[in-house]
Amino acid sequence: MSLNGTYDDDNIFAKILRGDMPCVKLYEDEHTLAFLDVFPQSKGHTLVIPKNVQARNLLDIDESALAPLMHTVQRLTRAVNTALMPDGIVVTQFNGAPAGQTVFHLHVHIIPRYEGETLGAHAGGGMADMDELNALAAKIKAAL
């Protein structure tokens, strides 16, 4: 999909927000939802999405909705750091398919990096073990 287009109400994150698809939830407030990526690039790979907006990417979101999203991104990045003690953390966001975006609902990736461990492929790795995700979620939630 291109950088510009129409929001699709059937994208996976819209389904998660509606409760039509499950997620391993880390945090939720009136503006945002944070959960673990089921196709993680690294242990603790977290996604943060805005609620109540139909923003395909960063270009589509109103400034008033962007501020709470970024507040949650910072809060979750701190919790991931405290809980998992990675050697580094990548915070990234893709806009349009040529940039690497695969789900067309604005989302921010928080990807812990560990020395000596190869980063998995974006949207190309295997599905995570749900027991491992739930254990990671408990650690991250405890650090919030």
CATH of the domain at 56: 3.30.428.10
Task: Tell me whether residue 2 is in a domain.
Answer: no
Q: Which long-range contacts (CB under 8 A, 24 or more apart) does 37-40 make?
A: 37/109, 37/128, 38/127, 38/128, 38/133, 39/123, 39/124, 39/125, 39/126, 39/127, 39/128, 40/120, 40/125, 40/128
107 is catalytic: yes
Whole-structure pTM value: 0.96
Q: What is the pLDDT of residue 112?
A: 98
**Strand order across the beta sheet in which 88-92 lies:** 24-28, 32-36, 46-50, 108-113, 88-92
Percent of the chain residues topping a pLDDT of 90: 93
- First-to-last alpha carbon distance for the chain, in angstroms, is 35
For residue 16, tell me if it sits in a domain: yes
- Which of these, 76, 74, 107, 113, lies nearest to 93 by C-alpha position? 107
Q: Is residue 93 part of a domain?
A: yes
The pLDDT tens digits for 93-130 are: 999 999 999 999 999 999 999 999 999 888 777 899 99
What pLDDT score does 38 carry?
96
Per-residue model confidence (pLDDT) at position 122: 81
**14 pLDDT band (50/70/90 cuts)?**
very high
Q: How far is CA 142 from CA 29, 54, 78, 83, in A?
A: 16, 31, 12, 8
Query: Does 31 reside within a domain?
Result: yes
- When divided into structural domains, the chain yields a total of 1
pLDDT at residue number 129 = 93
Query: Which among 45, 105, 107, 109 is annotated as catalytic?
Result: 107
